[in-house]
């Protein structure tokens, strides 16, 4: 299969590093013009310079702005007023004992992980429907289905994204626009390395720390290793393409077999 996104414009939120950067790179390699998003212009410019070293068919566009705020969303929309592909990747996570999560933290996780995605969907989906083609994706997590004891506020926000995705898929029914969520499993990023060391002995070398983390905290994984960001990006690129025209309203798993169920 050849994925060709030539002539398409995409926005990937939180794309200066980690999974978001891998997704943005994958879409650009397939020929899309990709908006790179981060809170500040400096981090976005640095990311674009780094990504530009890759061989890409598409262009990279700076789209800075904190999309967890109205003002930040407006800033992004000024940089990229139209998109054919929206990938709501931005997300925060941190281990925290359940009874120590205060109201402000619950609100923060909803604002950043859920409401930011809703805000951008409201902004871009009408144009996609009017043009008769579009792709909206929400990067969810295995934590949406298997709520982790160490961060139930994060799990809550990712469960909400599954509902949001299904709901907006119904709104776009019959229009040529597809809306899906991608359930990512435990993935190897810089942020996850820090998270792993919150839960295992910091004196361990990374390979041993990863094995200890999977053994003690993610034993359900059939892959038995952390997923690489590019493996998530491959699924996103496919769902962004015309090849995935019959997939909508779905929660597609790239979880390494972590979720012990036939359906999400």
Both tokens assigned to 219? 């034993």
pLDDT above 90 (res 130) = yes
pLDDT band (50, 70, 90) for residue 54: confident
Which helix (H) or strand (E) segment holds residue 191: the answer is: helix 190-199
Task: Name residues whose C-beta falls within 8 Å of residue 226's C-beta, 6 or more positions apart in sequence.
Answer: 186, 187, 188, 192, 210, 214
Asked if pLDDT for residue 264 goes beyond 80, the answer is no
Are residues 35 and 20 in contact, defined by beta-carbon separation less than 8 angstroms?
A: no
3-state SS assignment for residue 88? strand
pLDDT per position as a tens digit, 160-205: 999 999 999 999 999 999 999 999 999 998 888 888 998 899 999 9
Give me the residue label for tokens 């962004």.
Answer: 240
Distance CA 75, CA 81 (A): 10
- Enumerate the active-site residues: 154
Per-residue model confidence as pLDDT tens digits over 65-85: 999 999 999 999 999 999 999
* Domain boundaries 9-187+228-254, corresponding CATH code: 3.40.50.720
Q: Would you mind telling me the total number of residues written for the chain in this entry?
A: 264
- Rg value, the chain, Cα: 18
Nearest to 167 by CA among 117, 232, 109, 237: 117
Q: How confident is the model at residue 74, as a pLDDT?
A: 97
Q: What is the pLDDT of residues 212-247, one digit of tens each?
A: 999 998 898 999 889 999 999 999 999 999 999 999
| Domain parsing of the chain, residue ranges | 9-187+228-254, 188-226
Run of H or E including 206? helix 206-217
Q: pTM of the predicted model, to two decimals?
A: 0.94
- Kindly report the average pLDDT of the chain as a whole number: 95
Nearest to 145 by CA among 183, 200, 114, 171: 183
């Amino acid at each position: 299969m050849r994925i060709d996104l030539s002539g398409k414009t995409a926005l990937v939120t939180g794309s200066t590093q980690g999974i978001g950067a891998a997704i943005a790179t994958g879409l650009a390699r397939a020929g899309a013009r990709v908006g790179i998003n981060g809170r500040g212009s400096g981090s976005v410019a640095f990311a674009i310079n780094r990504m530009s070293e890759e061989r890409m068919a598409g262009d990279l566009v700076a789209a800075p702005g904190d999309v967890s705020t109205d003002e930040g969303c407006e800033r992004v929309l000024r940089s990229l007023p139209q998109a054919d592909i929206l990938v709501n990747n931005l997300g925060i996570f941190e281990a925290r004992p359940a009874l120590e999560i205060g109201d402000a933290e619950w609100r923060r996780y909803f604002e950043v992980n859920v409401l930011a995605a809703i805000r951008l969907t409201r902004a871009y989906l009408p144009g996609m429907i009017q043009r008769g083609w579009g792709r909206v994706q929400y990067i969810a997590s295995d934590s949406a289905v298997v709520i982790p004891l160490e961060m139930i506020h994060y799990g809550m926000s990712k469960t909400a994204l599954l509902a949001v995705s299904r709901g907006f898929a119904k709104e776009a029914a019959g229009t040529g626009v597809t809306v899906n969520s991608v359930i990512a499993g435990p993935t190897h990023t810089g942020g996850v390395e820090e998270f792993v060391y919150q839960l295992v002995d910091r004196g361990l070398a990374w390979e041993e720390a990863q094995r200890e983390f999977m053994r003690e905290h993610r034993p359900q994984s059939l892959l038995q290793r952390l997923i690489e960001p590019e493996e998530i990006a491959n699924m996103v690129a496919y769902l962004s393409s015309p090849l995935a025209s019959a997939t909508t309203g779905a929660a597609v798993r790239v979880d390494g077999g972590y979720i012990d169920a036939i359906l999400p």
